[in-house]
Each structure stands twice: as C-alpha cells, then as structure tokens.
Amino acid sequence: MFIGKSLTNIRILHDMSRSQLAEKVGVTEQAIWQYENGYTFPKLEVVNKLKTIFNVKATYFYQPDLLNKVDMNNIQIQNIAYRSETINSLSKSQSELMHVRFIDAFLKKIETKINYPKNTLLELRRDVIVFLKNNSEMDRKHQIKYVAELARERIGLGEDSNKNLLFLLEKAGAFIFEKEIGDKIDAYSLWTEEDRAYIILGSVKKSAVRRNFDLAHELGHLLLHYKEEFSMLDKKLYKTVEDEANSFAAEFLLPENQFRKDCEGIAKVSNPDAYIDIKQKWNVSLQAIAIRAFKLNLINYQQYRYYYMLINRKGYKILEPLDDKIPIERPMKIKSILRLLFNNNIYSVSSLMNDLRVDQGFFTVLTGIEEEFFEAYRELENKSFSLSELGIEGIK
C-alpha cells in the first residue's frame, strides 16, 4: 500500500510545495494532497515520476521511511538558529527541520558500530550554562567575551591562529554538513533533545574567511542561546541574538589582546590593504577586521567610514585579497564515518541503497558529500577479481 507520509516527508525535505510537486508530476495539487492523506493511490506512471524527482526507488513509497522509528520531537523547529538577516518563512524552516531529522535518523542507522570520543562541545555548553547562571548580573558584553575565550581554549585553537577551525569543531563533537540553503541564509545550527549539535553550512560558493565567521557565529548560538525559541522571537529580539552571535564570533576569531598587538604599527589604519597580513594570520575577512578594530576603538568613526568606502571602491565586497588563495575547509566527519564503514565492509553503498530504498543521488542530497565519493565505492563493489584472488595459480 502506498504510504502518503513517506511522500510528505520527502517532499518537505526537498523544500517543495504540493503545487510545485504537482506541476513536476503533471497532476493536480488536489491529487498530491489525496496521495499524502491516503484518499487515493497514485498510478505506476506517477510513482515512477516521483522516484526520479526524489532519487529513490519505487518501493520507497510502499514502506515506512527513515523517520518512522525515530522520535520526531528530538529536533524542534523553534530551536533552529539561522545566520540570516531576516526571520525565515515557515515553509523554509519546515524544510530545514525535515533535513536535519533525516540526517539524524541516517546517523542513528549507521553509527551503531562507531565509538565517538569525548563530547567536548557538550561539556563546554554545560559549563557555559553554569557560568551564565552564576554571573547573571555581569554585563552581557563581558559574558560573551569570557565564553568566547573559554571556547577557544576548550576547542583547541592556538593562541595566534584559527587554523583548522572546522575540523576542531567536528572533533569537539559538532556534526557539520553542507547543503543548498538559499541566497538569504548563510548557515544554521541547533541542539537536538538528545544533545547532538548540528551546524549546516550553505554550499553557495563562499570564501574560507566568510565560512570561518559562519562557523564561529553558529558556535555562539550553540553556547549562548541553548533552548532559545528562535522562531518565536520578534524582529527586535531576533536582531539581538544575531548581534550577540556576531559579537561572540568577533571575540572568538580575533582575541582582543593578540589583535591589539597585531594592529600596533599599522600606519594607514583606514586602508584595508594594511590589514592583509592580519587577515592571513587569523583567516578572517577584512570587513570583519574593520568592525572589530572600530569596536575596540583602534580606529575612529571617520577612519571606519573611509575604510568601508575603500572596501567598496576596490571591489572587496565581492572578492577580497587572498580569498582565492586560502583553502576552504569542507566537513569531513560524516565522510570519514562512511569511509570507515565501507572500508570495513560493515555497510556498502549498495546495501545502504537497498536498505533505505533510495538511489545514489539521495545520499548526496542528504549528506552534502559529492556523488563521486559514493560512485567510487560502488565501482569497488563491482570490480573484476584477479586470478590470485580467485585462487587460480596458472596454467599446468
């Protein structure tokens, strides 16, 4: 029997409305509604179109999906923290919620044989909660500064570098993924009810330094705004929590004492090009450096305005010096987990495809890992065996 819930879930996962799906399939919106609610069942030709659209097998719609046996309340829509200038639409939030639910269910399926190291990020979050509770009267600016310094220390960043930030966050316990989020969202993050931290990065081409700021911003949300109901905030409060995450990112990526020393001796303080060495050292954008310098009173308002005038004049809003030189870090944790499972024959790509009733492309949509990774492992499954492997020694 066709399971309408499986269609609903995967439709929302792909951020598609019923009317959009109906247009792709060539049926009415009412028909999609009826399929999803069990009033009618689609013909085989419709099912074949659905499986192509969603990178799944036809049988996907006739058995419970990945989400069937997981607690849907483990991931709450109101706990998603977006790095965005605007509060996002309900449909977009539901799509991202569904994506993380699918990721979480997928991880639970494959990680039963995996032993993770100590969850440093969870311990850090607990210590931050205690600190904030015991220092509730402290000025918020000083609270954020303390938490940023503590986070650098615990995560293992060096005193004068932000090298390998993404790797260190994954090692500390975060699960980081890439996906196409859209033009208006840079990244988002959340804690699940089971204390797993997710950071989702937009896969739109972005420089390494901007990605670093996205990561630091989301870390700020994870530590400062645990249990915050983001979707319930009005525009004013939403801006406040975003500003706090930005302040955290600045404190975290450009530690005050070291940054002040770096800025000593800069003659042309209002010229962005004078800060290129600092950008290279910290992997932080020239624009973020300007804001940090201004807020620390290292440059005055007029110098700050002139700095930004040069940013625009030189085209640095689009491409800064070194943006095409500093390598962009990519998430590796989920890829390493899959590689470990495939190399040890615990799973194969084909066995996962059969278990989940999906095509290879589904894994790329879900994990953000390039399809070539999965294709390479499938080719190994189908390799031709040598004579020695077959036990044939030669001709008599």
3-state secondary structure the chain: CCCHHHHHHHHHHCCCCHHHHHHHHCCCHHHHHHHHCCCCCCCHHHHHHHHHHHCECHHHHHCCCHHHHCCHHHCCHHHCEEEECCCCCHHHHHHHHHHHHHHHHHHHHHHHHCCCCCCHHHHHHHHHHHHHHHCCCCCHHHHHHHHHHHHHHHHCCCCCCCCCHHHHHHHHCCEEEEECCCCCEEEEEEECCCCCEEEEEECCCCCHHHHHHHHHHHHHHHHHCCCCCHHHCCHHHHHHHHHHHHHHHHHHHCCHHHHHHHHCCCCCCCCHHHHHHHHHHHCCCHHHHHHHHHHCCCCCHHHHHHHHHHHHHCCCCCCCCCCCCCCCCCCCHHHHHHHHHHHCCCCCHHHHHHHHCECHHHHHHHHCCCHHHHHHHHHHHCCCCCHHHHCCCCCC
Would you say residue 195 has pLDDT above 60? yes
**CATH code 1.10.260.40 region(s) in the chain:** 1-64
User: pTM of this prediction?
Assistant: 0.92
The larger pLDDT score, comparing residue 235 to residue 221, is at 221
Q: How far apart are CA 181 and CA 170, in angstroms?
A: 20
Query: What CATH number was assigned to the domain covering residues 1-64?
Result: 1.10.260.40
Would you say residue 118 has pLDDT above 80? yes
**Residue 52: exposed, middle, or buried by beta-carbon count in 10 A (0-12, 13-18, 19+)?**
middle
- Topology given in CATH for the domain delimited by 113-313: Arc Repressor Mutant, subunit A (1.10.10)
Query: Cα–chain-centroid distance for residue 140?
Result: 27
Mean pLDDT, rounded, for 6-35: 97
Structural contact between residues 57 and 361, judged by C-beta atoms closer than 8 angstroms: no
Q: How far apart are CA 126 and CA 129, in angstroms?
A: 5
Would you say residue 122 has pLDDT above 90? yes
Q: How far apart are CA 87 and CA 352, in angstroms?
A: 36
**CATH code 1.10.10.2910 region(s) in the chain:** 113-313
Residue 291 — very low, low, confident or very high, per pLDDT cuts 50/70/90?
A: very high
Phi, psi of 199 (to 5 degrees): -125, 125
Query: Cα–chain-centroid distance for residue 319?
Result: 23
Residue 89 — very low, low, confident or very high, per pLDDT cuts 50/70/90?
A: low
What is the reported pLDDT for 84? 61
Q: How far apart are CA 110 and CA 199, in angstroms?
A: 19
Would you say residue 94 has pLDDT above 90? no
What is the reported pLDDT for 389? 59
Question: Tens of pLDDT along 59-79?
Answer: 999 999 999 988 888 888 888
Mean pLDDT, rounded, for 91-109: 91
Mean pLDDT, rounded, for 182-197: 89
Mean pLDDT of the chain: 92
Residue 232 — very low, low, confident or very high, per pLDDT cuts 50/70/90?
A: confident
Mean pLDDT, rounded, for 371-394: 75
Least reliable range by pLDDT among 77-86, 194-203, 211-220, 297-306: 77-86
Block residue for tokens 């196409």: 180
What is the reported pLDDT for 144? 98
CB-based contacts of 68, cutoff 8 Å, min separation 6: none
Q: How far apart are CA 252 and CA 220, in angstroms?
A: 9
Structural contact between residues 79 and 302, judged by C-beta atoms closer than 8 angstroms: no
What is the reported pLDDT for 185? 79
Closest listed residue to residue 365, CA positions, set 103, 105, 91, 8: 103
